[in-house]
Amino acid sequence: MTQLRPMPTIDAMALALDEARSAAARGEVPVGAVVMRDGAVLSRAGNRTLELKDPTAHAEMLALRLACEAIDSERLVGCDLYVTLEPCPMCAAAISFSRIRRLYFGAGDPKGGAVENGVRLYASPTCHHAPEVYGGLSESEAAGLLREFFRAKR
């Protein structure tokens, strides 16, 4: 089992941003995610959809899977997720199903987001679990990584 190490909250988003930068270096959309519980990092991941040829290999999905493995459970009760971009509908649903306690995200996503934009999954009466949501954490840095990545692609 992975050894857990304590880490302050603000460092969790710094780790997510590191994962986003690593994703960009691999040619992936720069999104990173970290799952924490009781001040300890359970998992961290960046987008790997191109590398794995898997449309579900978003940073959040990978981080959730790794965290579930780390605690040997399909539920992440008492865990917090830090992600650099507002989750899409697929990731927002997985966050709900995994019972994440708090979701912290950096940049909003007017086109593909599903938390504060788009379908607003957690506001739906059919959503069985809605985490506490805190947007805008390290927003300018997270948005800047995305802007730079897509500017370079054009």
Q: Are the CB atoms for 81 and 64 separated by under 8 Å?
A: yes
CA angle 97/121/137 to nearest 5° reads 90
Q: Which of 51, 60, 69, 116 is catalytic?
A: 60
Handedness of CA 140, 143, 33, 153 (dihedral sign): negative
User: What are the start-end ranges of the H helices in the chain?
Assistant: 9-25, 49-52, 59-71, 89-98, 139-153
Residue 88 annotated in ligand binding: yes
Residue 79 annotated in ligand binding: no
- CA 112 vs CA 88, 109, 116: distances in Å: 5, 6, 10
Q: Is 60 a catalytic residue?
A: yes
Count how many Cα atoms sit within 13 Å of the Cα of residue 40 in the half-sphere of its side chain: 11
Q: From the annotation, which residues make up the binding site for Zn(2+)?
A: 58, 88, 91
Q: Give the residue numbers annotated as catalytic, written as ranges.
A: 60
Q: From the annotation, which residues make up the binding site?
A: 58, 88, 91
